[in-house]
Structure 1
Amino acid sequence: MSAEIVQLVEQAGPYLSAAAGAYGVQVFGRAEDAAVGAAADATASLGRRILQAVWHRQGEQGRAALASAVEDVVQEPDNVDAAGALRQQIKRALREDEDLQRELAELFAQVSGSSVVASGERSIASDSNSGVQITGDDAHVTQ
């Protein structure tokens, strides 16, 4: 699996959970309910857009699996296994559809206004840095 897919799914995780919590399985509906829309924050809205992008590219079997994974997260929001199963569905969809990879990468770039990628062991990604960032063993910092 490419590092890009892993990064996209890790980045999407909090948004997916927020969308499941705010919208439940209605996350796949076309029109956003006004009451839910008002209660949902930007995090949940982006999660909804991610899930809908995946949903629209799936066949019947993929949609059923995705809906089931979302339902599990809705039923048990603190269950890390349920969240992991949902992320696994997203990974599967991304592996099978390069256009979807590009679409999700563009969604994240629009939200952040920039794109920062960390690649490799002990990498650090930072859009801005106001302090010391160290990776490695036995590092010592003296002021």
Structure 2
Amino acid sequence: MDIGVLVSQAFPYLGAVAVAYGGAVLQRLQDEATNSTVEVGRRLLARLLGREESRPAIEAAVTDLGEHPDDEDLQAAVRAQVEKVLAGDPELAAEIGRLLADAGVPGTARYAVTVTGSQGVQVGDGNTQTNTFGAAPA
């Protein structure tokens, strides 16, 4: 998955947790979230903070955003830090992608299907489909 797309999909959740918790976002990370968007953001942030080498930069960017949630430069700073972390850790990027897909984030579906000129399609696991098109065989 493209890191830029992944960051774009993750950012609304990271922004939501920063706004919900304000400047105390990191101290309240352990608190129980009731809003599903904030919960997804909390899980994303917890996973991103688990990478020791990038933790200080992520902490600083998210704390600043929590104190000034409407500041577009701070939003960009969070995006940039997350993109840097995910670009340097493909396994973490894949894990974040799965977390977003499990949360039902649009654009992160488990299956990506392009159908052209088809009369029937089925997507999923363990499905059975029988299609009969045109005249019955003689």
TM-score normalised to structure 2 length? 0.69
1:58 equivalent to 2:56? Answer no
Quickly say closer, same or farther: Cα 1:116–1:88, change in 2 above 3 A: farther
Cα deviation per residue 1:45-91 (whole Å; 9 max; x = unaligned)? 111111111110132xx211111101110111101110110011100
The root-mean-square deviation of aligned C-alpha atoms, in Å, is 2.3
1:23 is matched by which residue type in structure 2?
Y
| Other-structure match for 1:21 | 19
The structure with the greater share of residues assigned to helix is: 1
SS in 2 for 1:112: coil
1:101 equivalent to 2:99? Answer no
Aligned-pair CA distance for 1:12: 0.9
Identical positions, percent: 36
After superposition, residues 61-140 of structure 1 pair within 5 angstroms as 62-112=54-104, 114-115=109-110
Separation in 2 of the partners of 1:75 and 1:16? 14
**Structure 2 unpaired stretches of 5+:** 113-138
Separation in 1 of the partners of 2:71 and 2:26? 21
Aligned residues: 109
Contact 1:5 1:94 in 2 (8 A): yes
1:22 is matched by which residue type in structure 2?
A
2:39 is matched by which residue type in structure 1?
S
Separation in 2 of the partners of 1:24 and 1:92? 23
Runs ≥4 in structure 1, deviation > 6 angstroms?
none
